[in-house]
Structure 1
Amino acid sequence: MKTNTTTVNGIDTQALLGAIEAIRNNPAEAQSKWHVTSHWKGGTRSETKVKSSQLGNQTIAKDFTIGIDEPLELCGTNQFANPQEYLMAALNACMIVGYTALTALEGIELEELRIETEGEIDIQGFLGLDPSVKPGYDHLRYTVHLKGDGTPEQFERIHRTVMATSPNYFNVANAVPLKSKLVLESPATV
């Protein structure tokens, strides 16, 4: 049951349409920049800080901390999800934003939206034990569970659109060039 005709699935459709129109009229407003800083916390633990992001010419202040670890079996303390789980979570979350926004714009009310993602990595590659074993996935498998008042045709069209427009789907499905820089800090003197 719709209680507010402009809010569907928790998305203010008028605000979303306004943002789309503003970007259509001024493409510079579509430029975004994301930044995180990760610090080693001992062993396999790290902590990633998110302080701000940028959208158009607006800086958005943030204050988030993401804890990362490995399971005991990989010499971790199992205090937090590991990098692979965060990678999959980031993929799923990005696609969920797309499904939620697109269904909202079509007036489709969702009852359930769940994405299950899995993949296998042969740890021999990570450990450098066998140069013929790559350190990453051959592929990831994901299943999207959607339930709502849309038609199968609407959900299929939205599914194809999410795959075509989700930034993290693109980033995982395509090789994104990484540009590295190594800065060596001087050891502390006593």
Structure 2
Amino acid sequence: MAHVMPDLFKIDVKAHAITHARTEMVARGKVVATDEPPERGGTNLFATPLETMLSSFLGCTNVIANYVAGLLKIELRGMEMDICGHFDTRGVFGKADIASPFPVIELRVVLDTDASDEKIAELQRLTGEKCPVSVLLRRAGCEIQESWMRK
């Protein structure tokens, strides 16, 4: 049985700054933490906020791709993904007025499926249109270079 989602609902997250580099957030009673590496004054215990953002893109891609695969009647036996964000630090450090701190994000998805190339292309297109993180990043000016292929 499919879960029915409301048209609009709130997602609440609370945060506490443990140090200038480490933050602990609580979402639905689950703790999420971010940190920075030692060279930026952190303890390196957790992923950085930007690594966490890119990880969220992968997690959302997984959820939405599996949802879309169901709509398209594509059997996905598994997915492997990796991502590389090209971070332009000039905006953060006031060196330049840049359009996007991530001008390019490379996304690679390897599917364990027997779906045709055409079906995979449709899965990629619809996932990009429906994934909330993908939509936010694209509208923020990120060029997402995608490669979706069969295992």
Partner of 1:149: 114
Select the residue among 20, 38, 50 that pairs with 1:43: 20
Give the TM-score taking structure 1 as reference length: 0.66
Q: Structure 1: state its 5+ residue gaps.
A: 1-14, 24-28, 51-61, 177-190
Label 1:88 to 1:71 Cα distance change in 2 as closer, same or farther (>3 A).
Answer: same
Partner of 2:129: 164
Mapped partners of 1:91, 1:43: distance in 2: 25
**Post-superposition CA distance 1:78-119 (Å, at most 9, x none):** 000001111101111111111111223444332331221112
Mapped partners of 1:144, 1:173: distance in 2: 18
Mapped partners of 1:69, 1:34: distance in 2: 22
Per-residue deviation at 1:143? 1.3
8 Å CA contact retained: 2:54, 2:85: no
Per-residue deviation at 1:76? 0.9
Partner of 1:101: 67
Q: Percent identity?
A: 23
Per-residue deviation at 1:167? 0.8
Q: Structure 2: state its 5+ residue gaps.
A: 142-151
Q: CA RMSD in A?
A: 2.3
Task: Between the two structures, name the one with larger relative contact order (CA 8 Å, sep ≥ 6).
Answer: 2
**Post-superposition CA distance 1:43-92 (Å, at most 9, x none):** 30000111xxxxxxxxxxx2111010011122111000001111101111
Select the residue among 91, 106, 120 that pairs with 2:86: 120
Select the residue among 29, 33, 50 that pairs with 1:84: 50
Partner of 1:55: none
**Paired letter, 1:73:** E
Label 1:76 to 1:164 Cα distance change in 2 as closer, same or farther (>3 A).
Answer: same
8 Å CA contact retained: 1:125, 1:133: yes
Per-residue deviation at 1:173? 1.0
Mapped partners of 2:53, 2:24: distance in 1: 15
Label 1:45 to 1:106 Cα distance change in 2 as closer, same or farther (>3 A).
Answer: same
Per-residue deviation at 1:158? 1.1
Label 1:106 to 1:77 Cα distance change in 2 as closer, same or farther (>3 A).
Answer: same
- The structure having more radius of gyration, on CA atoms, is 1
SS at match of 1:168: helix
Mapped partners of 2:51, 2:79: distance in 1: 19
Give the TM-score taking structure 2 as reference length: 0.81
Partner of 2:33: 67
Partner of 2:146: none
SS at match of 1:33: coil
